[in-house]
A and B are shown apart, each in its own frame.
Chain A
Amino acid sequence: MAIYWTIGTPFGRDQLFCRSMARYLARRLLLTIPVLLGVATLVFALIHLVPGDPAQTMLGESASPDEVARLRTTLGLDKPLLAQYRGFLAGVAHGDLGTSFRYGTPVTREIRQRVPDTAVLAVCAMAIAVLFAIPLGIIAAMYRGRFADHAAMTVALAGISMPNFWLGPLLAILFAVYLGWLPVAGSGTAAHLVLPSVTLGVALAAILARMTRASLLEELRELYVLAARARGLSRIRAILRHAFRNSLIPIVTIIGLQFGAVLTGTIITETIFAWPGVGRLLIQAINNRDYPLVQGCILFISVTYVAMNLITDLTYGFLDPRIRFE
């Protein structure tokens, strides 16, 4: 509501808001189309980067020429390149990403079956990151330059530097092997979700904590915080009720933009903990040389990432009118 009051009279504000938002939405959507086309083109090109004959590589050296020829026909590799490209784009537009070489089922079905698991993991990891990072960032900003700040930021930098393919096994050694509190791998219960979520969430928490601190410090310099203190508000109240609220916009943006890191993080985390998501499916497809499935997974992850960036951009435009009117 606060945004409405800043941009026009009560009579015209709704109209102005809707028009500016619609223009902003249209512009952002138009900018996304060439990016998606470029992503699809690169994914299409992947199979043609395979050294030698992709069909021969998939079947192995012992395959007969007939089998190789049949697979080339199935994959459409016997058609001219332009026809293959047109067919690929048409398939993508209709949600048809081909057939998995290994499973003999549609690639979209294989991916669809694993999306819920990846989504649950990603959301839990982000929730853990937000719950830990924001208090840590606030404490660091409140005690800037003091021990608490240095300690919090060193912990955050250590979190960024700690690769998830090390953190995951370390947590497994501690909580599954020594303490026996949690299962080491697999899925099915809430307990199975704890270690993968923490592993995935730590790096994001570290980045968010740094961002929260930087954003809050920026706001603490503003005069309205001083005014709030002059009105008799305690320091912590002035920070939480005024400065923190305004510092949220860049934090929300970072959460959205870091979704990509979480998505790629799932590839390693799911592999470590045998979590049955899209990331693990991609690695299994690579090991099986199931190129249609590899292409499908890469395309799915990239398009999800582009969509999340678009949603973040739109949210940012919604929250901050200056972005819409640029």
Chain B
Amino acid sequence: MIRVGTVIVLIAVFAATLGPVLTPYDPSAQTLAQRLEAPSPAHPFGLDELGRDILSRLLSGARISLLVGLAVVSVSSLIGMTLGSIAGYFGGGVDDLISRAIDILMAFPGILLAIALVAVLGPSLRNVVLALCVIGWVGYARLVRGQALRAREFEYVQAARALGAGPARIVARHVLPTAYPAVIVQATLGMAGAIIAEASLSFLGLGVQPPTPSWGTMLDAGRSHLFDAPHLTVFPGLAIATLVLGFNFLGDGLRDRIDPKAET
């Protein structure tokens, strides 16, 4: 499972990095005379409603998807780990405050809050990342808080405290490392979640704005051509599903390695 996931993710990274070299077409170049043309040897995935090469746009879109995923996961995990370890290690009023904030944010199902935030802040890539980070840190904070609650009672942590180590040092050197394996699994699955969320927002017209190629906006454009050009819908969706499946395989495989009891 891990191998399949790794291969899919590496192919996506490779395609995103070398995208412009892999296809001879500019993802924004329009050939209106050939609009909605079906897949052919010259254009393996066909052309879209403005006559742009879909394969070239998919490769450019991969860059957006991976960058959004990486940005959301990095920022969310950093904030979540910091707040979670503070809540778990110190307990008391700080823990209550952070835990209530977590409870309130978790009362919004799925990406509803992200939709609401982007709706008021305005659709843009920056606002999508911001909105996904606002809801993304919560999962990491809950996870790390739980680990920190357990870890603060460990003997080696008490020994470090007795030796005069400060709270920041104890948290960074002794408490947080116990949570790293679980955080890595969560981050891998979080990449899948962030990619789907970005594509969902773009599909709803709240994410990346045209003409920047994004898999979600490409799927949205395909909706108007279900009857005459289904390839506009098939290929961007296939790209999203494959990449998400890759990250899910990787995350599940890592979790099984780290915690065989939780094998799915």
Residues of A bordering B, CB below 8 Å = 34-36, 38-39, 42-43, 46-47, 49-51, 153, 157-158, 160-163, 165-167, 169-170, 172-173, 176-177, 184, 210, 213-214, 259-261, 263-265, 267-268, 271-272, 282-283, 286-287, 291, 294, 298, 301-302, 305-306, 309
Contact = CB atoms under 8 A, between A and B. Distances in A.
B184 interface: no
A166 B240 contact: yes
Contacts of A210: 264
Interface of B: 100-101, 103-104, 107-113, 115-117, 119-122, 192, 196, 199-200, 203-206, 216, 219, 222-223, 226-227, 230, 233-234, 236-238, 240-242, 244-245, 248-249, 252, 264
Nearest to B195: A163
18 contacts: A35-B107, A46-B116, A50-B120, A162-B241, A165-B200, A165-B216, A170-B234, A184-B226, A214-B264, A263-B110, A264-B109, A264-B110, A282-B115, A298-B108, A301-B109, A305-B107, A305-B109, A306-B107
A177 B248 contact: no
B107 to A, nearest CB: 5
The residue among A169, A287, A309 with the most chain B CB atoms within 10 A of its own CB is A169
Contacts, number: 137
A42 B226 contact: no
Given A157-B249, A161-B244, A163-B200, A170 B120 contact: no
Contacts of A282: 115
A163 B223 contact: no
B248 A157 contact: yes
Contacts of A306: 107
B8 to A, nearest CB: 10
A317 B112 CA distance: 28
B109 A294 contact: no
Given A42-B104, A170-B237, 9 more contacts: A39-B107, A46-B119, A165-B219, A166-B238, A169-B219, A170-B234, A173-B234, A265-B110, A267-B115
B227 A163 contact: no
A165 B93 CA distance: 42
Nearest to A184: B226
A326 to B, nearest CB: 16
A34 B248 contact: no
A265 B200 CA distance: 10
A285 to B, nearest CB: 8
